[in-house]
Amino acid sequence: MRILLLSDIHANLEALEACLAAAPSFDRVLNLGDVVGYGASPNEVSDRARGLGKIFVRGNHDKAATGLMDIDDFNPMAAAAAVWTREQLTPENLDWLRSLPQGPLQAEDIPDVQLVHGSPADEDAYVVSLGDALAPLIAATVPAIFFGHTHLQGAFFANGPAADGFRPEYRTVGQAESIAFQLKPEARYMLNPGSVGQPRDGDWRAAFALFDTDAQIFHFHRAPYNLKSAQDRIFEAKLPPRLATRLAAGR
Ligand code: ZN
């Protein structure tokens, strides 16, 4: 089976469409949360994401935009976007986002994989470093945990007493590219497809991944998208301008 992994789309329609156009053929879509928040196309992205598949976990921005989580802990920029998003969402999309399940989640027919937004023990925790990943890797009940939330594409893994991280290094900064990462049967992994709609690893291109369960290869992907269009929507919506400018830097 070939699984398309999307995370942290953040209401960026242009980035989502670019990922779908760049993705090789796939059988299923798994979504790791933060469908909305920050970007200016919450309804278009919710509609599109809902049509792609049924396996989602919720993100903190999905909770904030639908009133399931207090926005007091959000920075002013994120809070302003959450309030704006709530005003924009149709009742149908609000209900759908509110009903997204909390991770960790396991799909019946993909037994060796767990989905979370942040970390298995805490859906809102950030797994940024190998140090953050060690406890969940040791506690893992499945060989592979797919996670998002940090907007940083990459992997952490433990193999017996050895543990390490992997960050894909691409050749260009403007073309569609992919890097294959082979999983070993004896190791445990935490794998992050990166953020579709607001990457923060210094690469402005939309990030996603494709996992081939038969070959046990996790393909990291980057796809350029219509940045200006996504930015213009944010300016027109009178969202904080930094939400538009940061997209160009991938920060
Ligand atoms: Zn996010």
pTM above 0.95, yes or no: yes
Burial 75-102 (b: 16+ CB within 10 A, else e): eeebbbbbebbbebbeeebbebbeebee
Tell how far the Cα of 236 is from the centroid of ligand 1, in angstroms: 22
Residue-range definition of the domain harbouring residue 216: 2-249
Per-residue confidence (pLDDT) for residue 103, from 0 to 100: 95
Provide the mean pLDDT of the chain.
96
| Alpha carbon of 1 to ligand 1 centroid (Å) | 27
**Rounded to the nearest whole angstrom, what is the distance from the C-alpha of residue 25 to the centroid of ligand 1?**
25
Distance 118 CA to ligand 1 centre (A): 9
DSSP-assigned states of every residue in 66-122: TTSS-GGGS-HHHHHHHHHHHHHS-HHHHHHHHTPPPSPB--TT-TTEEE-SSBTTB
Output the CA 117–ligand 1 centroid distance in Å.
9
pLDDT level of residue 73 (50, 70, 90 thresholds)? confident
What is the CA(161)–ligand 1 centre distance, in A?
Answer: 31
Distance, CA 160 to ligand 1 centroid (Å)?
31
The three-class DSSP label of residue 154 is strand
Centroid of ligand 1 to alpha carbon of 139 (angstroms): 24
pLDDT tens across 19-72, in order? 999 999 999 999 999 999 999 999 999 999 999 988 899 999 999 999 999 898
Q: What is the CATH number of the domain that holds 241?
A: 3.60.21.10
How many angstroms is it from 94 CA to the middle of ligand 1? 18
Query: 13 CA distance to ligand 1 centroid (A)?
Result: 15
Burial class, 43, CB count within 10 angstroms (exposed 0-12 / middle 13-18 / buried 19+): middle
Q: How far is the CA of 180 from the centre of ligand 1 (A)?
A: 24
How many CB atoms lie under 10 A from the CB of residue 166? 16
Q: What does the pLDDT read at residue 108?
A: 85
pLDDT for 144: 97
Q: What integer pLDDT is reported at residue 111 of this predicted model?
A: 84
- Ligand 1 center to residue 186 CA distance, Å? 31
pLDDT tens string 174-191: 999 999 999 999 999 999
**Percent of the chain scored above 70 by pLDDT?**
100
Calculate how far, in angstroms, residue 34's C-alpha sits from the geometric centre of ligand 1.
Answer: 5
In this predicted structure, the answer to whether residue 107 has a pLDDT above a threshold of 90 is: no
The total number of structural domains that make up the chain: 1
pLDDT, tens only, 120-166: 999 999 999 999 999 999 999 999 999 999 999 999 999 988 999 99
